């Protein structure tokens, strides 16, 4: 417990950095998939989008999501007795973002297998999900309203 208390600000800073990386990935992947849906299956463009999506998921999104969760839980440990109701809303939204991340990974896999799981318009619309969630999460974390 001393380690967490002594290094709280370092852990918090790293957590914020990883959340920024994760959010960047959650903003980028639906756009990538929207552009990918415009390409012909098996074309050179299709293969380029597959590589981009795979790299984004494996190099940025997955590691940053896992790191953000681990560090977020570590930040929570010293404050367990002080959690307000606002945190339950935040945690629910984090679970929603994690499920969204998993859905993007599945849609990416389907696209790589030659299936067009959704339309370009669909991916442009779901691109707003992380933006709405992060606005609410940040406002809850800053104001702690309840």
User: Which residue positions form the known binding site for heme?
Assistant: 15, 90
Residue 3: count of CB within 10 angstroms of its CB: 9
The answer to whether the CB of 84 falls within 8 A of the CB of 121 is no
CB atoms near residue 20 (< 10 Å):
13
Residue 116: CB atoms within 10 A of its CB come to 15
Query: What are the binding residues?
Result: 15, 90
Distances 7 to 3, 10, 64, 97, 109 between C-alpha atoms, Å:
6, 5, 20, 27, 39
């Amino acid at each position: 417990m001393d380690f967490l208390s002594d290094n709280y600000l370092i852990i918090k800073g790293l957590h914020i950095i990883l959340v920024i990386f994760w959010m960047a990935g959650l903003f980028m992947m639906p756009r990538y998939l929207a552009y990918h849906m415009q390409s012909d299956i098996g074309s050179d463009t299709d293969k380029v989008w597959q590589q981009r999506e795979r790299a984004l998921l494996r190099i940025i999104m997955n590691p940053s999501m896992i790191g953000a969760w681990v560090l977020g839980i570590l930040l929570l440990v010293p404050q367990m007795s002080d959690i307000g109701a606002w945190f339950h809303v935040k945690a629910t939204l984090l679970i929603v973002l994690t499920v969204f991340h998993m859905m993007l990974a599945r849609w990416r896999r389907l696209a790589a297998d030659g299936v067009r799981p959704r339309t370009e318009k669909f991916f442009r619309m779901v691109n707003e999900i992380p933006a709405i969630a992060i606005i609410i999460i940040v406002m809850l974390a800053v104001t702690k309203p309840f």
